[in-house]
Amino acid sequence: MMKNELSALAARIDHTNLKINARWEDIRLTCDEAIKGGAASVCIPPCFVKRASDYMGNAMKVCTVIGFPNGYNTTEMKCAEARQAIADGAEELDFVINIGMVKNKDWEAVDGELSALRSSCEGKVMKVIIETCALTDDEKIVLCGAVSKCGAEYIKTSTGFSTGGATAADVALLRANVAENVKVKASGGIRTVEFAQELVKLGADRIGASAVLPVIIKEGENI
């Protein structure tokens, strides 16, 4: 790949470290890599948001996860998490939907939660993780409409903590069914530059990954 192609891909990446055993030293390395590689943001656990925000200043956006990874927290708890994350310096918030509501086909409850979460974002970027591996295609399509209606900036495929991650088919499906102004974030199991590129071609605007940016940095240094 040419250096400008690598830079363009890096600028789509939410460089991620959501490991349950991550230490501050690990998160700091993730932050340093995100800055060096020119990532879109660094995506980290809520408990590290303030320290990372203080550490990086304006050098990189901080993204964090809400209701992660199962999504069955109460709506009130998710909203409280969001407000705390924003107070700590988060600029982008990746919310996990309540999958049980979807399986119950309680679409009114789904819409109500998404509306409450949108309000809790206080103008920050909202990404809705729908956990595609747990859903039927029909459920994914209905959620495309719900996410579009609530005013979220992104619909996101996966947490990376369930039975599967991003697939080419799911990215194409989401892009075909979500509103034009809603972007698609692919995440979960994206470990190579080639797969990330494929997903971008299919309509992914952001890539959530931990392994791709270090490869881009290394390749860029060798050009």
Q: Which of 94, 127, 140, 183 is catalytic?
A: 94
Our answer to whether residue 124 is catalytic in this structure is no
Residue 156 among the catalytic residues: yes
Q: Which of 61, 156, 170, 183 is catalytic?
A: 156
Residues 6+ away with beta carbon under 8 Å from 108:
none
**Tokens 């996966």 belong to residue:** 158
Cβ 101 vs Cβ 70: under 8 Å = no
Look up 94 and say whether it is catalytic: yes
| Surface-to-core class of residue 26, CB atoms within 10 Å of its CB (0-12 exposed, 13-18 middle, 19+ buried) | middle
Instruction: Determine how many CB atoms are found less than 10 A away from the CB of residue 14.
Output: 26
Helix count and strand count (H, E) for the chain: 10, 8
3-class secondary-structure state, position 61: coil
Place of tokens 């103008």: 123
DSSP 91-158: SEEEEEP-HHHHHTT-HHHHHHHHHHHHHHTTTSEEEEE--GGGS-HHHHHHHHHHHHHHT-SEEE--
* Closest residue by Cα to residue 205 from 164, 176, 171: 171
Burial 60-69 (b: 16+ CB within 10 A, else e): bbbbbbbbbe
* Residues tagged active-site: 94, 156, 185
